[in-house]
Amino acid sequence: MQVSNFERVGIGVYPTPYERMHRLEAQLNGPRLFVKREDLTGVALGGNKVRQLDYILVQARRNNCDYVITTSGIQSNWARQTTALAIKMGMKALLVLRTAQFTRKPSQFDGNILLDHIMGAEVKIIKMKINEDPAELLESEAEKLRRKSHNPLVLGLQAAVSAPAAIAYVDAARELIQQADDVIPDAIILATSAGATQAGLTLGAKMMGIRSKVIGVNVGAFSSSVVRNTIINTAAEAARILDSNVRLTGEDVIIVDDYIGGGYGIPTKAANNALLTAARTEALILDPVYTSKAMAGLIDMIKIGKLKEGENICFVHTGGIPALFPYKRHFQPQKR
């Protein structure tokens, strides 16, 4: 694997921890459980996007950019981590944030968007769904900056599912397997949205010739068919860049739709319960949009026997903790 030769900015803390979840394991009375702590990548409360942006923002350094323009939802982990790395690289961030799962613009900043503001990002909010593309608006903002003699890098929707984003998680797969030593996971479980993280982990596992199934729990931003195609295509481009003949097929890409609930960003009872279970057994803090739905999937798959006693299961915590706070009403103490 030639990932070590691939240029990166050099921001982030790696390797991230790989831990046994003894207390959750005992409560569920099923397989051995581990967690890969991608929430601890070390910049602005961490998350999987730090690892990906460490590769993606090489382009900004090469081109001497002084601004990064990007888009996502109001409570975007991508936007927070893009802002953070831009600051660390001496650039400014302009965020075009879509209302996504929320019906209106926020009256107060909270969670990720509050952190964006605290870090000095210029924030513009538009009413648009998470799967709609504001490419024209991004380019318009970039042109305004160019007229003021700035040199912006535009990271549109494709940036999050680009080959460098997948290559980052090919490297994470190598890291995870080294940490697992001789206890190779039978399955690796993660929340999947656009698909680049799952693409990298699946490609990395296949390149190393290990048996681990990578199971993406779909959180509902995109249909599973769209995510599957994205994973296969992104992984193919990543493999080409890495000079590998390995390619993913449809059989390699496992996406579970059973835990979406009402849709993207809409908490489910099972996910909320999973969030509380992880917190109260392992002090592992999840978020209602991504990781709690993945944990709900893991717990249910153990209960119905898809993940069995004697197996080794790794949960990839992709971060997103700041998004918990805008959903705080779901977790208030009951009145007595």
Task: Give, as one character, the DSSP assignment of residue 147.
Answer: H
pLDDT at 5: 78
pLDDT at 336: 72
Beta pairing partners, 152: 67
pLDDT at 184: 96
User: Mean pLDDT over all residues of the chain?
Assistant: 96
Quick one: 16 and 142 in the same domain?
Answer: no
Nearest to 264 by CA among 230, 223, 299: 223
Quick one: 223 and 326 in the same domain?
Answer: yes
pLDDT at 193: 96
Instruction: Evaluate whether 199 touches 211 at the Cβ level (below 8 Å).
Output: no
- The mean pLDDT value for 100-108 works out to 90
Quick one: 142 and 13 in the same domain?
Answer: no
Q: How far is CA 57 from CA 40, 52, 301, in A?
A: 19, 9, 37
pLDDT in tens, 248-273: 999 999 999 999 999 999 999 999 99
What's the pLDDT band for 1 if we cut at 50, 70, 90? low
pTM of the predicted model, to two decimals? 0.96
Quick one: 130 and 196 in the same domain?
Answer: no
* Model confidence at 144: pLDDT above 90: yes
Give the end of a domain, one of 108, 134, 160: 160
- Total domain count, the chain: 2
Domain with 211 in it: 3-48+161-331
Quick one: 196 and 207 in the same domain?
Answer: yes
Examine residue 125 and state whether it is found in any structural domain, yes or no.
Answer: yes
Strands (E), the chain: 18-20, 32-37, 67-73, 92-98, 122-126, 152-155, 187-192, 213-218, 254-256, 312-317
Examine residue 28 and state whether it is found in any structural domain, yes or no.
Answer: yes
What token pair was written down for 23? Answer: 């207390």
Quick one: 201 and 67 in the same domain?
Answer: no
CATH of the domain at 118: 3.40.50.1100
Give the end of a domain, one of 160, 187, 208: 160
Quick one: 89 and 136 in the same domain?
Answer: yes
Quick one: 169 and 99 in the same domain?
Answer: no
Examine residue 279 and state whether it is found in any structural domain, yes or no.
Answer: yes
Examine residue 336 and state whether it is found in any structural domain, yes or no.
Answer: no
Taking the C-alpha atoms of residue 30 and residue 283, their distance in angstroms, rounded to an integer, is 19
- The mean pLDDT value for 299-313 works out to 97
Sheet bearing 213-218, strands edge to edge: 18-20, 32-37, 312-317, 187-192, 213-218, 254-256
